[in-house]
Amino acid sequence: MSLCKRRGFIFQGSEIYGGLAGTWDYGIYGSELAHNIKDLWWKHFVREQEDVYGITTSAMMSEPVWEASGHLEGFTDPMVECKKCKSRFRADQIADKKKCSVCGGELGPEKVFNLLFPVDIGSTKGETNRAYLRGEIAQGMFTNFRNVLDSSRVRVPFGLAQVGRAYRNEIAPRDFLFRVREFDLMEFEYFTRENEWADHFERWRKEMWRWIERVGIDKNAVHELEVAPEDRAHYSKRTIDFEFDFPFGRKELYGLAYRTDHDLKKHMEHSGIDMRYADPETQERYIPHVVEPTFGHGRTVLAVLLSAYTEDELGGEKRVYLKLKSDVAPVKVAVFPLLKNKPTLVEKAGEIYRTLKKEINGIVEFDDNGNIGKRYRRQDEIGTPFCVTVDFDTIEKDDTVTVRDRDTGKQERVKIGDLVQKIKAT
């Protein structure tokens, strides 16, 4: 958390006013990391798949949507409140159900607390309509299922994917990015025949492991948990949680659920819109069943940072660096002139910097502040894979630059003409 604040990855929401619990802001490098993870996820699960398509739906949805889906009734947590200091706690996450852990006061009776954020639409008193900020992004894909069928040539089985913001009125947000009130989800609904769901469930289970490795999460810290029936969501017939060994314990990172035909059937009943799929070959009409892989974006960012955070010794000095995959690293390459007071070095470094900015898909940084050692350490801490240094040999001898590898500290001379190819190859 100290590194994230110091190097501009993540800041507390509303920090200058004391902070707002359960909200976090991404700084310059944090935003790049976050966007790179989303882009890689979209590439992995949408663009590289033959049967998954992306859509984008509203974060605000009408009350009947949540009535039909069961969230108004079932999207709840047990809550207790201290009678003295008014602190609130999730009843299933405290050891002492009678005594407040903050002030020692008496806890009140357990109550059901709905996690959805209500929104009143309209400005005139008594003339508002109730809507909700979505607690999950899945419903937008279910409510648009008919629209997708009518406006495209997709055939079952196929998936609808989305990356978007969700909101949950958590009783006790905690553990940095892990449990928050506003967050992004990356998920897709895969529509299939009922008798084929198990095969697709296994397909996406394996694909989720491929993603975990690709994004740079430590596979040894990830574990599958078969969720017991009494612990599953109201719509699920089978769920696997992918849990990660966070510093605060082994907790859920991702989920893979078999939602059956629950959602489409409920929306068909409540809206009167036919959600059945008509097989173009057999003319059979049926409501598809759904397999849903869900990825918390903030939890992904946290797991990637934890997996990448490394302390070692280089050149007789201790250092901290982020061993990030090149695909998600905020800065792809940094360019240095050896000395900032030598115009020929600065000018040449500027030429190389501008060339790389045009050719490299990602952030390229120019840094001439401080000695080379300090510049290396700064780039190590934000996870930059390569640093390119322009020195006197570049100008006077062989038109080469020094390229330093982040992980090993190894340096090699590379022809300027070969620089783009070398960086792109990683």
Name 163's Cβ contacts closer than 8 Å, sequence gap at least 6. 38, 41, 42, 184, 185, 186, 297
Spell 141-156 as b/e; 16+ CB within 10 A means b.
bbbbbbeebeeeebeb
Helices 28-42, 297-308: inter-axial angle, 10-degree rounding:
110
Instruction: Write down the pLDDT at residue 76.
Output: 75
Domains (ranges, CATH) in the chain?
2-62+120-306 (3.30.930.10), 329-424 (3.40.50.800)
d(CA 405, CA 420): 15
pLDDT score at 302: 97
Question: Of the candidates 143, 153, 134, which has an alpha carbon nearest to the alpha carbon of residue 53?
Answer: 153
- pLDDT (tens digit, 9 = 90+) per residue, 94-110? 888 889 988 999 999 98
Helix axis angle, 28-42 to 197-215, nearest 10°: 140
For 303-317, how does the pLDDT look when each residue is reduced to its tens digit (9 = 90+)?
A: 999 999 999 998 888
3-state helix, strand, coil in the chain (%, to 5): 35, 35, 30
Distances (CA, A) of 281 to 77, 169, 285: 46, 46, 11
Q: pTM for the full model?
A: 0.91
Residue 105 phi, psi dihedral angles, 5° rounding: -75, 175
The parts of the chain modelled with pLDDT lower than 70 are 74, 123-128
Question: Is 266 strand, coil or helix?
Answer: helix
Return the exposure string of 95-106: e unless at least 16 CB atoms fall within 10 Å of the residue's CB, then b. eeeeebeeeebe
DSSP lists the bridge partners of residue 140 as none
pLDDT at 92: 82
pLDDT given at position 126 = 62
Residue with tokens 């009143």: 120
- Give pLDDT, residue 157: 97
pLDDT given at position 123? 62
C-alpha distances out from residue 28 to 35, 198, 239, 310, 363, Å: 11, 42, 36, 21, 11
Q: What is the pLDDT of residue 420?
A: 93
Distances (CA, A) of 321 to 52, 176, 332, 354: 36, 20, 14, 26
Cα distances (angstroms) measured from residue 331 to each of 57, 95, 355: 31, 44, 15
Q: How far is CA 120 from CA 90, 130, 134, 236, 287, in A?
A: 26, 5, 14, 30, 33
**What confidence score (pLDDT) does residue 297 get?**
97
Q: What is the pLDDT of residue 94?
A: 85
Q: Based on the number of CB atoms within 10 Å of its own CB, is 382 exposed (0-12), middle (13-18) or buried (19 or more)?
A: buried
Quickly tell me which residue has 């997708």 as its tokens: 148
**Distance between CA 293 and CA 189 in Å, rounded?**
7
